[in-house]
């Protein structure tokens, strides 16, 4: 009898401990932070270049756009940069995990130099937008649909639209690709997006925390269901890409250890739309642009020739 009681208490302690750890993991991964975390050590060498782009971003003429402007709990904020040549083409840029629209200044300038207007939203729970929890692109995809519609309302039915994102932003655009996009959306570029939230979390549990998938992923998933309304396993960029009909360029660093490069191949094979895959051999996560900005712009420009 004593053994069974002891065993029961031990199992209860283990379950309580696992639940505590899962709540901690959820808060670390999903809870809003009101700052941009320091970049990884291998990207510190690009700091001066990055701040040069930020300086341009802050000085270039721009407008501030809103969704749900009069509702503080739902308000979303974006920067719109009008190209002076008025060529009727706009890129919508989706930022990465715990970033914001300013952290995409380098991509904004690149597309501006290619003749695009630029729309850069802050996702839910990022930057100046409302929200308590990061949703890793799944709910954000609906917000980007609203941004697309707002852009068409303001700029006109003849506006051509490119969707672009990096890391979480790349996955967001891949998830968005499976929706009923308006005809104005002509193409998509996804840089180092993950194939699913569950796969990415399971991978990081092992690589960063040395924890197994079970019981932690199911527990975190259940917490997320209560907070944000969906289980992690319900969300898949690959499944969304199966419904994609837009030409898409996948970019991924060959030395990416944060979002493993195999996910780029999984996403590439998931879609039947016109597609290209560019693996930047020596680039780490989200480093492909920084590794060689001229080559990056040239590859993007080459892809876009057909569609813009």
Predicted confidence pLDDT, tens digits, the chain (308 residues): 555 444 443 545 556 889 999 999 999 999 999 999 988 888 899 999 999 999 999 999 999 999 999 999 999 999 999 999 999 999 999 999 999 999 999 999 999 999 999 999 999 999 999 999 999 999 999 999 999 999 999 999 999 999 999 999 999 999 999 999 999 999 999 999 999 999 999 999 999 999 999 999 999 999 999 999 999 999 999 999 999 999 999 999 999 999 999 999 999 999 999 999 999 999 999 999 999 999 999 999 999 998 88
Q: Do the beta carbons of residue 291 and residue 280 sit within 8 Å?
A: yes
Task: Look at residue 43 in the predicted model and tell me its pLDDT.
Answer: 86
Task: Look at residue 41 in the predicted model and tell me its pLDDT.
Answer: 80
Task: Look at residue 40 in the predicted model and tell me its pLDDT.
Answer: 83
Sequence-distant (≥ 6) Cβ neighbours of residue 99 within 8 angstroms: 36, 126, 127, 169
Whole-number Å distance between alpha carbons of 100 and 79: 11
Q: Which of 114, 123, 18 is nearest to 307 (CA)?
A: 114
Task: Look at residue 8 in the predicted model and tell me its pLDDT.
Answer: 44
CB atoms within 10 A of CB 39: 16
Task: Look at residue 81 in the predicted model and tell me its pLDDT.
Answer: 98
Q: DSSP class of residue 181?
A: -
- Which ranges constitute the DSSP H helices of 229-282? 237-241, 262-270
Assigned architecture for domain 39-196+235-304: 3-Layer(aba) Sandwich (3.40)
- Which ranges constitute the DSSP H helices of the chain? 2-30, 47-59, 105-113, 140-155, 168-176, 197-209, 216-228, 237-241, 262-270, 288-291, 293-304
Q: Which residues pair with 77 in a beta bridge?
A: 66
- Which ranges constitute the DSSP H helices of 114-258? 140-155, 168-176, 197-209, 216-228, 237-241
Q: Which of 110, 136, 11 is nearest to 53 (CA)?
A: 110
Task: Look at residue 15 in the predicted model and tell me its pLDDT.
Answer: 66
Compute φ and ψ for 104, nearest 5 degrees.
-105, 20
Strands across the sheet with 63-67, in order?
63-67, 76-81, 117-121, 89-94, 160-166, 185-191, 248-253, 275-280
């Amino acid at each position: 009898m004593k053994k069974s009681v002891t065993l029961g208490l031990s199992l209860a302690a283990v379950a309580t401990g696992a639940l505590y750890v899962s709540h901690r993991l959820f808060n670390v991964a999903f809870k809003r932070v009101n700052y941009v975390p320091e970049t990884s050590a291998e990207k510190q060498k690009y700091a001066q270049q990055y701040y040069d782009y930020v300086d341009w971003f802050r000085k270039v003429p721009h407008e501030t756009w809103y969704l749900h402007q009069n509702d503080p709990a739902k308000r979303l904020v974006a920067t719109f940069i009008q190209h002076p040549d008025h060529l009727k083409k706009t890129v919508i840029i989706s930022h990465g995990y715990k970033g914001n629209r300013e952290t995409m200044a380098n991509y904004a300038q690149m597309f501006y130099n290619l003749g695009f207007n630029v729309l850069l939203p802050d996702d839910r729970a990022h930057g100046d937008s409302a929200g308590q929890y990061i949703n890793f692109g799944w709910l954000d995809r609906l917000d980007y649909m609203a941004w697309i519609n707002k852009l068409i309302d303001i700029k006109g039915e003849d506006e051509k639209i490119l969707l672009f994102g990096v890391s979480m932003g790349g996955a967001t655009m891949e998830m968005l690709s499976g929706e009923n996009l308006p005809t104005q959306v002509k193409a998509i570029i996804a840089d180092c997006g993950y194939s699913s939230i569950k796969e990415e979390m399971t991978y990081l549990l092992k690589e960063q925390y040395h924890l197994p998938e079970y019981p932690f992923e199911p527990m975190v998933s259940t917490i997320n269901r209560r907070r944000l309304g969906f289980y992690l396993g319900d969300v898949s960029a690959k499944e969304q890409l199966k419904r994609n009909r837009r030409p898409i360029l996948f970019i991924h660093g060959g030395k990416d250890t944060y979002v493993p490069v195999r996910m780029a191949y999984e996403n590439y094979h998931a879609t039947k739309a016109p597609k290209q895959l560019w693996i930047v051999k020596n680039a780490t996560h989200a480093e492909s642009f920084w590794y060689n900005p001229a080559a990056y712009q040239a590859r993007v420009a080459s892809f876009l020739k057909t569609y813009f």
